[in-house]
Amino acid sequence: MCLLVFAWDCHPAYRFVFAGNRDEFHERPARPADWWADGSTLAGRDELAGGTWLGVNRQGRFGVVTNYREPGVRNPEALSRGELVTGYLDAGQSLLRHIDTNRYNGFNLIAGRLDRELHYLSNRGEGGPITPGLHGLSNRRLDTAWPKVRRGIARLERLLDNDVVTPHSLLDLLGDRVQADDAELPDTGLEAGLERLLSSIFIASPDYGTRCSTTVLLDRAGRLQFAERRYDANGETTGESRFEFRLG
C-alpha cells in the first residue's frame, strides 16, 4: 500500500518536492521509469494493464495514483486505475472534468500542472485544489493521519529546513522501514499482522512490498529532477534512474 508525501508551493527554492513509494505484488511485471515513445512522457509502465502509477511530461503535467484500501470491495470488470495517470498526461484538465469515476475501483489521484496548480480527485469522497503546504497520502483519503503518513510528513518537514533538497535525501526518507506500534495502527479491516507490515514507509515482504521509490523536484526556475530507485522481493536495490530537464 503506497505512500506519497509532498510539499506544494511552500519552499523558497522549490515549487514541488515529492517522494513516493509504489507498493505492489512482486510478480506483477513493470518497466522502469523512462521516456516513452512519444518523447514527452516520463514514467514507469505497468506491463499487465499498460498504464502507469506515476508520470510527468515535458510541459509539467504530473499525475500519481494510489488505491483506496477497502478489503473485500473490488469490481473485476473495472478499468485499470493506471489509465487515470496516462489519461491526464495526455488530456490534461479535461480528464479531471469529465472522468467517470464509477468505472474504477477505489482510487486517489493527484494531478496538475506543476508550474500552475495541483488537484486531488477520488471516487471515495470529495476532492479539489490542493492548498500550499505539506501533504501526505497512502490508501485512504488525502492527509488521513495514518502512522506512515505522519512519519513521512515529519521527515519531509525536516528536509525542507534546508536551502537545498536532493533526490538522495528524499530516497533516504522513502527507505524508512520502521513499523508502527500496535496502539497506533489504523483499523482498515485487515488482520493485525498485515496491518503492522503495511504500516512502514518502506514495505519489505517476499510476496508484496515496495517495488520502487520515486522523487520529483521542481525548482522555481522550471528545472525538474526525477529519480527512481527499484527493489527486489528482499528489499534490495536492483537499479536506479535519474533524469533532468526544464519544463517546455
Q: Where are the domains of the chain?
A: 3-246
Average pLDDT over residues 143-169: 97
User: Cβ distance 180 to 196 under 8 Å?
Assistant: yes
Average pLDDT over residues 29-44: 96
pLDDT at res. 96: 75
In sequence order, the 6+-apart residues with CB closer than 8 A to the CB of 126 are: none
* CA angle, 68 then 2 then 120, to 5°: 55
pLDDT at res. 72: 85
User: Cβ distance 47 to 14 under 8 Å?
Assistant: no
pLDDT > 80? residue 97: no
Cα–Cα distance measured from residue 57 to residue 218, given in angstroms and rounded to the nearest whole number: 12
C-alpha to C-alpha distances, 21 to 24, 28, 150, 246, nearest whole angstrom: 10, 16, 15, 24
Average pLDDT over residues 194-223: 97
Cα–Cα distance measured from residue 121 to residue 141, given in angstroms and rounded to the nearest whole number: 10
pLDDT > 70? residue 200: yes
Work out the percent of the chain whose per-residue pLDDT is above 90.
Answer: 92
Sign of CA dihedral 5, 91, 245, 235: positive
On whether the 3-246 domain is CATH 4.10.320.10, my answer is no
The C-alpha cell of 85 is what? Answer: 495517470
**How high is the mean pLDDT of the chain?**
95
Q: What strands, in cross-sheet order, belong to the sheet with 208-219?
A: 133-137, 3-8, 14-25, 208-219, 223-231, 237-246
pLDDT tier for residue 91 given thresholds of 50, 70 and 90: confident
Average pLDDT over residues 148-152: 98
pLDDT > 80? residue 94: no
pLDDT at res. 1: 60
pLDDT at res. 124: 95
For residues 214-229, b (16+ Cβ closer than 10 Å) or e, as one string? bbbbbbeeeebbbbbb
Average pLDDT over residues 194-210: 96
Average pLDDT over residues 135-145: 97
pLDDT at res. 28: 96
Average pLDDT over residues 23-42: 96
Q: Which tens digits make up the pLDDT trace of 99-112?
A: 899 999 999 999 99
* Among 18-27, 166-175, 180-189, the least confident range: 180-189
pLDDT > 80? residue 216: yes
